Amino acid sequence: MKKLEQLYEGKAKKVFATDVENVCIVDYKDDATAFNGLKKGSIAGKGVVNNRMSNFLFKLLEAKGVPTHFVEEISDRETAVKKVEIVPLEVIIRNIAAGSFSKRYGVEEGTDLAVPTIEFSYKNDDLGDPLINDYHALALKLATWEEIDTIKKYAFKVNEVLKEYFDKIGVILVDFKLEFGRDRSNGGKIILADEISPDTCRLWDAVTKEKLDKDRFRRDLGNVEDAYNEMFARLGLDK
Ligand code: UDP
């Protein structure tokens, strides 16, 4: 597969065209941003961790029946993925209260939730990705009911698969963000896209409750690289 011209540069990834129809190459950067781009920095080696961790988890999810955009790992930082039209919703699943949920509802971080929850944010940087409900998403034509139903079903399935897997490596899956896309080469079928990494999940050590994710960067907790490398090692990707 040939890597052709750059199509897009985001906060953490670049996307390139390829000579294969409906396939792009994603190239993961070490750049880190938080608070809608207000905080900027770099986390050495993050691109490698996020690329390889995301691919590892997408393969696991595919095996468990969740369709994804994953095609092939090209290098430590590059992956071939199916070209999709991204549904402009950030889909957030929570098992334990943290971050904006704790703040919004006045619940202490670390409080177990009685059931896993789902929420949507409207992917719109100018508006600061506001919280949105499923009726609003339908009213704004961001997705159809059928797509929203499929997204909910897959998101909870991802939670079940990942919770079980992380539990085995001594990691608590607190919450995470997913993005889905429409596979136009396959009738607009909804598939999991974007990434699953310490940038997009809250991951706590099961024993010490130490944070092994991007909160170390957001909250200036130090040892940011160590946290990403620890997740990499726990997944056995350092060997
Ligand atoms: N998240 C993300 N991208 C965003 C917003 C949130 O990946 O633009 C992830 C975040 O890492 C966490 C989960 O979604 O795992 C829930 O984040 P929350 O709503 O608590 O927002 P935050 O406190 O990070 O602003």
At 7 the pLDDT is 98
Q: Which atom of ligand 1 is nearest to the CA of 35?
A: 25
- Tell how far the Cα of 176 is from the centroid of ligand 1, in angstroms: 7
Are 198 and 231 within 8 A, CB to CB?
A: yes
Low-confidence ranges of the chain (pLDDT < 50): none
Are 158 and 192 within 8 A, CB to CB?
A: yes
Atom 19 in ligand 1: residue holding the nearest Cα? 100
- Tell how far the Cα of 200 is from the centroid of ligand 1, in angstroms: 7
At 158 the pLDDT is 99
Beta strands in 74-200 (DSSP E): 78-82, 85-86, 89-96, 112-122, 131-132, 171-183, 189-193
Q: Which atom of ligand 1 is nearest to the CA of 175?
A: 15
Considering the chain, what percentage of its residues have pLDDT values greater than 90? 99
Pocket test for ligand 1, best of 39, 94, 96, 100 (most atoms within 8 A of CB): 100
pLDDT tens-digit readout, 46-90: 999 999 999 999 999 999 999 999 999 999 999 999 999 999 999
- Tell how far the Cα of 197 is from the centroid of ligand 1, in angstroms: 12
Are 172 and 183 within 8 A, CB to CB?
A: no
Q: What is the pTM of this model?
A: 0.97
Residue found by looking up tokens 């209260």 in the block? 97
Q: Residues lining ligand 1, CB < 6 A? A: 90, 92, 98-101, 129, 175-177, 200-202, 214
Cross-strand pairs, 57: none
Atom 7 in ligand 1: residue holding the nearest Cα? 200
At 208 the pLDDT is 98
Q: Which atom of ligand 1 is nearest to the CA of 201?
A: 15
At 174 the pLDDT is 99
What number of residues does the chain have? 239
At 220 the pLDDT is 98
Task: Give 127's DSSP letter.
Answer: G
Are 225 and 231 within 8 A, CB to CB?
A: no
- Mean pLDDT of the chain, nearest integer: 98
Question: 123: alpha, beta or left, given left = phi > 0 and alpha = psi -120 to 50?
Answer: beta
At 226 the pLDDT is 98
pLDDT tens-digit readout, 111-131: 999 999 999 999 999 999 999
At 130 the pLDDT is 97
Residue found by looking up tokens 């090209």 in the block? 74
Pocket test for ligand 1, best of 95, 124, 175 (most atoms within 8 A of CB): 175
At 3 the pLDDT is 98
At 191 the pLDDT is 99
Q: Which atom of ligand 1 is nearest to the CA of 98?
A: 20
- Tell how far the Cα of 138 is from the centroid of ligand 1, in angstroms: 22
